Amino acid sequence: MRFRSLKNWQTEFDISALLFFAQRMEELLFDYTLDTYKPSALNAPALCAEALLVLEDIESGVLDEANLKHVLDELEWSIHGDRVAKSMLEGDLSRYLPRSENVPYTERRLKLQVLAGVLNPYRYFERCVHYLGEAIRASKKKEIDELARTLCTTLINLGQSKHFLYKNTVDFFYYQENKFSETRDSFQAFIQLIWPYTHHFDVYFIASSLLNKIHEESAHFKVEKVDSIPEKLVEFSAKSGFVLKSDEVLVRINDIQSFDIYSARMEAESRLNKVRDLFVLFSHKAQLTWREEALIVQLCCEGEPAIVKKNRSSMEKGFDLRPAVAAKRMNWMLRNINLSSSGSFERFDRVVELHGIGVTHNIPENQLLNLWISLETLTPSHAGQNKVAGVVASLNPTLMLNYILRLVEQVASDLVHWDKYKTKKILKKISTQSQSIRAATLRLLTLQSCEPLRNELYAALSDFHLLRYRIFRLSESLSSPAKVKELLDLHERKVSWQIRRIYRTRNLVVHSGKAPSFIHALIENGHNYLDQVMSQVMLASCGEYNLNSLDQVFEFTKIRYERFGKQLAAIETFADENVEFLLVNQSLATSYTD
């Protein structure tokens, strides 16, 4: 989260709601936003489509029948909390979602198909835009927050590039010569920029001359070798450095239908990947290669040619340490790791390899498969327990223990990046046992006695409406043990659904070769889960506890989470002397030493 210059904003007018929307959209679409604040992988329309896929896989024997319950539970929960979806239903939700096991699959499929038609993504998008405009004009920030999230989810699942949405958001609100004072016209102008219109593109790559030898294969995938750049593109390509060398050829992928230049490049390169991979089946040594840059020409409307590089891999969109700190942590781990029992180090080492392959090889389907294998390799096996249920049960304690800490750390980081001097001035007024910025931020968020300081902070934040809203909402969620319990329970349900979705998508890829549009969101979330678990494994094995097997680490984490739950249940009101236990993993984190 960052605060940008408001040189384009006429702040003498009431632009707070539109500015909040702009700030929230940038956060939603930024690659390194905390997963809690990113767009959901699926919303009601996508969940309905997923339920139909799951039903099909159950009938074909690919999935167990128990999988349908979890999808329908999430779909029902999603619609109940979705103003847009509820407004589109023509009858009670129970008419579309019969939950009795006695209802035959044919009837379930029919009702889900009707629901999918009612919640058509394009119809949903238009309704979402309508309500979002109303919420901005009425300055209802909670509704803006929820509607902006589902708007992004809808567009990404339709096939728009997240990078396209991010770039248009930042350019429109902060860099282009726009003057924002009137909400309605400005909002409509932005929506027109991101409206999901399909365009036609030609995409050019510069590839190795090996392509000369594989004409049939290229033609099959509509990959065409051309002799030269079209005359109208010669000047642009020369200025952009898109010029062939003697050992290269020009490749054109014709008439790609897509929403934007970034998704067009992705579709075009997927065809080149198929040509390369099929050729490797017959020749393991010689491989077709091509430059990262692609020249993209829009064939319809008025589009300028563009040079587009490969999008950042989904595995790269996570928290990263600076190289010097990363090296220090790695050396500490190598000196202290103690996974010597029950083949644990071999399992750990295998996951490290799979993680490395996923980061260095940008093929989404392979990344997802490697993530699932990694999670399954790490977690203990229990006789008589369903495989995916066992992974969920093993992962949840770690992911729940980290959750409050991660939320508090994110707020602390956002405050420091906003203004470290004002932040330090306010936090210095809060006494803590550990004197850490995390502990002070936690007290600022949770304690009733800190309300005057929160009000002081709200005033200081001025036009940073998103950070003020985030602190206010999080303060509400952490204001009592009962509220914290609600927050954790909801997060646990969402994480469990997501882990199961990763498993189902893994099955879809393996058994049908298909990959859903939301695979990139699953990779980001799965990578995040894996990183958290690997960190917990290293801390518990290398630190003062010196646990020597993965099974011990997961059992230890389960015990700690049970203790955390008992501590939370025993407290009626948060106070200065009892609140710091919410940062339950902070003590383990201090185990890192030089």
pLDDT tens sequence across 385-407: 688 999 999 999 999 998 999 99
Write the DSSP string, 267-299.
HHHHHHHHHHHHHHHH-SS----EEEEEEEEE-
| Residue 106 forms part of a structural domain | yes
Do 340 and 422 have their domain in common?
A: no
567-585 pLDDT, tens digit each: 999 999 999 889 989 987 6
Alpha carbons 306 and 261: distance in angstroms, whole number: 8
Same domain (yes/no): 214, 356: no
DSSP letter, residue 224 = E
Choose among 42, 48, 202, 30: nearest CA to 114. Answer: 48
What is the C-alpha separation between 108 and 51, in angstroms, rounded?
10
Shared domain for 230 and 305, answered yes or no, is yes
Same domain, yes or no: 369 and 518: yes
Look at residues 93, 119, 145 and tell me which one is the last residue of a structural domain: 119
Measuring CA to CA, which residue among 316, 63, 315, 13 is closest to residue 182?
13
Same-domain pairing of 240 and 108 = no
pTM for the full predicted model: 0.92
If asked whether residues 110 and 129 sit together in one domain, one would say no
Q: Which helix (H) or strand (E) holds 127?
A: helix 121-137
Q: What is the count of structural domains for the chain? A: 5
Domain span holding position 304: 199-310
Kind and range of the H or E element at 388? helix 387-427
Q: Is residue 458 part of a domain?
A: yes
Alpha carbon distance 467, 138 (integer Å)? 20
The predicted structure's pLDDT at residue 593? 45
pLDDT along the chain (594 residues), means of 10: 89 88 97 94 95 89 86 95 95 87 87 95 97 96 98 96 96 88 87 95 91 66 85 93 91 91 93 83 78 92 88 71 66 74 87 85 88 93 78 94 94 96 93 79 95 96 97 97 97 96 92 86 93 89 85 94 95 92 67 45
SS3 257: strand
Do the Cβ atoms of 440 and 427 come closer than 8 Å?
A: yes
The answer on 289 and 209 residing in a single domain is: yes
Q: Which amino acid is at 455?
A: N
Beta carbons within 8 Å of 272's beta carbon, 6+ residues apart: 205, 207, 221, 223, 251, 253, 288, 290
Contacts of 513 (CB under 8 A, 6+ apart): none
**594 within a domain of the structure (yes/no):** no
**Domain final residue, candidates 483, 514, 539:** 483
- Sequence-distant (≥ 6) Cβ neighbours of residue 167 within 8 angstroms: none
In a domain, 505, yes or no: yes
Residues 539 and 575 placed together within one structural domain of the fold: yes
Residues 183 and 133 in one domain: yes
d(CA 519, CA 62): 19
Domain boundary residue among 448, 465, 483? 483
Whether residue 68 sits in one domain with residue 20: no
With H, G, I as helix, E, B as strand and everything else as coil, classify residue 33. coil
Using the structure block, give the residue that is written with the tokens 């094995």.
541
